[in-house]
Amino acid sequence: MDHVSRDTVSINATHHGVEALKDTMFGSAAGIVGKYIEYPFDTVKVRLQSQPESYPLRYTGPLDCFRQSLQQSGVRGLYRGVSAPLFGAAVETSSLFFSYRIAQNVLRSTVYRSTAEPLPLTGLVACGALSGAFTSLALTPIELVKCKMQVTSGSAGSGNGAVALIRSIYRSHGMAGFWHGQLGTLIRETGGSAAWFGSYEGASKVFRSFATHDEHRTNGSPLPIYQQMLAGALAGMSYNFIFFPADTIKSRMQTEDLIRPSGGRRTFAAVGRALWKQQGMRGLYQGCGITVARSAPSSAFIFAVYETLRSHFG
């Protein structure tokens, strides 16, 4: 009997390990595809968010920022610093899907142990929040480097490359310096991931309820690609809009030493107060429109790629 129990535990552990590896691989691939699509828009967003407080605004809006960026450094400039975000996208998306599955397994074995039904939407939203909180720890250092590279407009050879920035951060602030802006990332990722997975799962449930083919209801077969992409687009917009002010404050925190080098580092609350005093609510949502717009196709492709790989490779 003990031998059978040990075998069962071993099989379950192997299964969970294989599923975790799939989440990591498929999530990484999906994240890289999504990042290539959205990165130029993300560069514009960060430049809008990081404008100095004590000077007239350099950009009048997203289109003006696009125009000036293209004039100054071309399309290549809009992809400046993309190496760190590509790595970050792989880490972020794989971590989100991996920890989302782990959180679901924990809830099924504890809170919802007495039922064999799928987790309710509230449970899935909670799993999304937990996955976001976990992912924020890995994401903050990557975003710190990314934001600094996006704000500097020089060429890659000007000494502002990723490796040079990493060395500079470590020399100036030690290991703890890489987590500058962690509170903003935590708020954005926890709330945003709850909205991301919640919106996707909610939209998917609606599509399945209207499905005319029985297999969409009974055996969990994937939705058609266009429905996956619609649900993913809704998820991306929800993720970015709801907690956008936290992302704005985080971006400014992570780039303020480039904008005001003699001012020192400020806390999340101090940066938020200064931004509110300078521009009010509009300042907290600076770049929100372009971010929500680019997040729709990006998130649509992320979920479509992930779900397609899952359906083809188990």
Q: For residue 49, name the pLDDT band (cuts at 50, 70, 90).
A: confident
What confidence category does residue 4 fall into, taking pLDDT thresholds of 50, 70 and 90?
very low
Inter-CA distances, 159 with 105, 152, 155, Å: 46, 11, 8
Which amino acid belongs to residue 115?
Answer: T
- If you average pLDDT over residues 165-176, what whole number do you get? 88
Per residue in 120-156, pLDDT (tens digit) is: 999 999 999 999 999 999 889 988 888 888 776 544 3
Q: Look up the pTM and report it.
A: 0.79
Residues 235/169, Cβ–Cβ less than 8 Å? no
55 has a pLDDT exceeding 80: no
Rounded Cα–Cα distance for residues 174 and 189 (Å): 24
pLDDT for 156 equals 39
Q: What is the pLDDT of residue 85?
A: 77
Crossing angle for the helix pair 244-259 and 225-242, to the nearest 10 degrees: 60
pLDDT at 96 over 90: yes
Cα gap 30→114, rounded to integer Å: 34
Distance CA 248, CA 282 (A): 11
- Give the rounded distance of the alpha carbon of 188 from its chain centre: 9
The average pLDDT across 145-173 equals 72
| pLDDT reported for residue 72 | 86
- Residues 169, 175, 181, 187, CA torsion sign: positive
Q: Is the pLDDT of residue 10 over 80?
A: no
Beta-carbon contacts of 180 under 8 Å, excluding residues fewer than 6 positions away, are: 140, 144, 173, 253, 254, 265
Residue 207: per-residue pLDDT: 92
- Segment 95-122 shows an average pLDDT of 89
Confidence of residue 277 (pLDDT cuts 50, 70, 90): confident
pLDDT tens sequence across 242-256: 889 998 888 888 887
